[in-house]
Chains A and B, each alone.
Chain A
Amino acid sequence: MALLQLDNISVAYDQQYILKDFNLSLEKGQLLSLLGPSGCGKTTTLRLIAGFLDAKDGSFRFEGKDYTRTPINKRNFGLVFQSYALFPHLSVYENVAFGLRIRKVKDDEIRKRVMKMLEIVSLHGFEDRFPGALSGGQKQRVAIARALVIEPDLLLFDEPLSNLDANLRVNMRVEIRRIQQELGITTVYVSHDQEECFSISDKVAVMNKGVIEQLDHPSVIFKYPKTEFVGRFIGFNNFITFTERQADGDAVLLTVNGLPFRAKKVPGMSAGMKGAIRPDDLLAGTENEISEGPNVLDGTVKVSTYLGRSYQYIVETALGEFTVNKEMLSPFENGQRIRLLVPPEKLVLVD
């Protein structure tokens, strides 16, 4: 049975529903990310789990018990905020010890646990500093130590890295994953950064307007987005709306404007009529390099930009504009006639 279970949860701010009939479940020891654009309800979901918000409807079960009306301070969940939220009037040591003092843990036991936790977050020797004298990364480590030292039943992160600079973000997310796995602690992690979520999660829930559009392993979502929204959010920039669709063995035959396409059939594939493909997966070539046939589109280069490793082209075709990336020495020219090939195994059907 799932450790955490949200059943048909609704949350509203003055009559306006932010979450409606929201469902989510999470197994013990896993790290689940909520991923979605700003304003889609990630923080709301996290605050509901933490206990800062009341559900209008639905129930929240944790370890089989009803937590829907359990007050925040009785939940034993660890929280890490985007703004760190350290206590400015307390030293690093006292910040980390805070939760233990409330739990009336003995002083020497507190000392042992705080020191061990500071060791884990690589902040040994910083006990007597005050938050004002720490860098952003160090503050976030203290915040993590403070949340972990109480041995929480669930750890909640709300965009913990978005105030850090790019390099540190990558280091910290590796760190977070390491600590999470080392301690085997069940975690819900909120971010709007796709790479961040994919790199550290066991499961990712992609959210849109208060609804989870897809919940799966990162690698599955990365390859097989279920809906157009998810596809767009994770970088499938090209969409084709087909008019006919029929099964053909392990392939799907599709047509639009009399142009035939094939897509590889995968288990659990959407029954939708939209095909999606990444700019990196689309092949581009001259009329000599790619011959006419199914899955091929004629087009004209409209815009060309240099991305560093490859060139990116916007190509005008009979089915609209396509974005394609190609590594090459000398780029296509603007206005040049080229062909695009959609590899059947890379064409993903979405709702």
Chain B
Amino acid sequence: MQNKSYGLTLFTFLVYLFLLGPLILIAIASFEPSTVLKFPLTGFSLKWYKNVFEVGLFMSTFKTSVIVSLLGNFLALLLGVPAAYALSRGSFRGKNTLNAIFLSPVLIPGIVLGFTLLKFIIISLHIPIYAALLIGHTVIMLPFIIRVIGSSLSNFDFAIEEASLSLGSSRLATFFKVVLPNIRSGIIAAVLIAFLESFNNVDISIFMSGPGISTLPIQMLTYVQNYFDPTIAALSVMLMIFTAVIMFLIERLLGLSYFTKR
């Protein structure tokens, strides 16, 4: 009994080491003073952290990333909330097909989706790059929004909607006064998850960027193709902290178990 639980602890430790090891290495390496990423460290310096803020393209692409993710999030909510509502509320013909279509971006490889968007929509409709990025990211986020809010709606008791109608409330007022407040946590979770998904996206963004307009992950990719200094490591650490803060918020608001339940 004792041995068995020691073995299990060791195993768990190894799994964590495997998962977190590279992240820890990157974090340590970001403090390397020399111009090449190295381990073990030859000294200690924060200069690469400072450098992140001095590379103008990092700052401008960060701004683009945030704007695109936030705006796209908003658009995805506008489309996704009614869609999730219709999908879990209604029983109509073609519901399953529609469900599949809305979720397909999760199943189709991002490269394929990105290429298709570029080739058949962006280029043929002459859509400007910034708008293209926005469209791409809305498409990335939509399935997450629909899925997470849909799961929240599946626990929603539609009888309370009927109660509201019977008390004289219109359908629209009922949606805002009764449905929305009861799926609020689902909406917050959906927004945060979709944001992370969009913010970290490479495979679709890469088709939607162009001269002067790019997202942070794409910019990082370009950077590592040309430089080997620890700036990327420093930036990665900052992004990890950024992500951790968002995950912490999700955990605080809903508990992570929210996502593993279904």
Residues of A within 8 A of B164 (CB): 87, 98
Could you tell me the distance in whole angstroms from the C-beta of B89 to the nearest C-beta in chain A? 13
How many positions in chain A have a CB within 8 Å of any CB in the partner chain?
A: 26
Q: Check B162–A85 contact: CB distance below 8 A.
A: yes
Cα–Cα, bound, A52→B163 (Å)? 11
Residue of A74, A87, A89 near B163 (CB, 8 A) is A87
Summarize B's interface: helix, strand, loop or mixed: helix
Chain B, 150-162, contact with A by CB distance < 8 Å: what is the 0/1 string? 0000000101101
- Flag whether B169 is at the interface (Cβ < 8 A): yes
Given contacts A85-B159, A87-B160, A78 and B182 within 8 Å (CB-CB): no
- Flag whether A239 is at the interface (Cβ < 8 A): no
Could you tell me the distance in whole angstroms from the C-beta of B136 to the nearest C-beta in chain A? 36
Total CB contacts across the A-B interface at under 8 A = 60
Residues of B within 8 A of A76 (CB): 168
Given contacts A89-B182, A102-B173, A83 and B166 within 8 Å (CB-CB): no
Residues of A within 8 A of B165 (CB): 52, 72-73
Cα–Cα, bound, A102→B177 (Å)? 11
Residues of B within 8 A of A72 (CB): 162, 165-166
Q: Which residue of A lies closest to B160 (CB)?
A: A85
- Flag whether B170 is at the interface (Cβ < 8 A): yes
Residue of A50, A73, A87, A146 near B178 (CB, 8 A) is A87
Residue of B162, B169, B182 near A102 (CB, 8 A) is B169
- Flag whether A81 is at the interface (Cβ < 8 A): yes
Could you tell me the distance in whole angstroms from the C-beta of B184 to the nearest C-beta in chain A? 8
| Of listed A51, A73, A98, A146, residue having the most chain B CB within 10 A | A73
How many positions in chain B have a CB within 8 Å of any CB in the partner chain?
A: 17
Given contacts A52-B162, A79-B162, A102-B173, A85 and B167 within 8 Å (CB-CB): no
Cα–Cα, bound, A52→B165 (Å)? 9
- Flag whether B128 is at the interface (Cβ < 8 A): no
- Flag whether A65 is at the interface (Cβ < 8 A): no
- Flag whether A150 is at the interface (Cβ < 8 A): yes
Q: Check B170–A73 contact: CB distance below 8 A.
A: yes
Q: Check A77–B159 contact: CB distance below 8 A.
A: no
- Flag whether A41 is at the interface (Cβ < 8 A): no
Cα–Cα, bound, A185→B256 (Å)? 49
Could you tell me the distance in whole angstroms from the C-beta of A96 to the nearest C-beta in chain B? 10
Interface residues of A in 59-81 (CB under 8 A from B): 72-79, 81
Cα–Cα, bound, A86→B161 (Å)? 10
Residues of B within 8 A of A50 (CB): 166
Residue of B159, B162, B168 near A99 (CB, 8 A) is B168
Residues of B within 8 A of A79 (CB): 162-163, 166
- Flag whether B82 is at the interface (Cβ < 8 A): no
Q: Which residue of A lies closest to B158 (CB)?
A: A85
Q: Check B167–A86 contact: CB distance below 8 A.
A: no
Q: Check B169–A73 contact: CB distance below 8 A.
A: yes
Cα–Cα, bound, A52→B170 (Å)? 13
Residues of B within 8 A of A78 (CB): 166
Residues of A within 8 A of B168 (CB): 73-74, 76, 99, 102-103, 150
| Of listed B159, B170, B173, residue having the most chain A CB within 10 A | B159
Residues of A within 8 A of B171 (CB): 73
- Flag whether B181 is at the interface (Cβ < 8 A): yes
Q: A81-B162, A87-B182, A88-B182 are in contact. List 10 more A-B contacts (CB 8 A).
A: A73-B170, A76-B168, A81-B163, A86-B160, A98-B164, A102-B169, A102-B173, A146-B163, A150-B167, A150-B168
Q: List 30 A-B contacts (CB under 8 A).
A: A51-B166, A52-B162, A52-B165, A72-B165, A73-B167, A73-B169, A73-B170, A75-B166, A77-B166, A78-B166, A79-B166, A81-B162, A81-B163, A85-B157, A85-B160, A86-B160, A86-B163, A87-B160, A87-B182, A88-B160, A88-B182, A89-B181, A98-B164, A98-B167, A99-B167, A99-B168, A102-B168, A143-B163, A146-B163, A150-B168
Which residues of A pack against B, CB within 8 Å? 50-52, 72-79, 81, 83, 85-89, 98-99, 102-103, 143, 146-147, 150
CB-based closest 4 A-B pairs: A99-B167, A85-B159, A79-B166, A85-B163
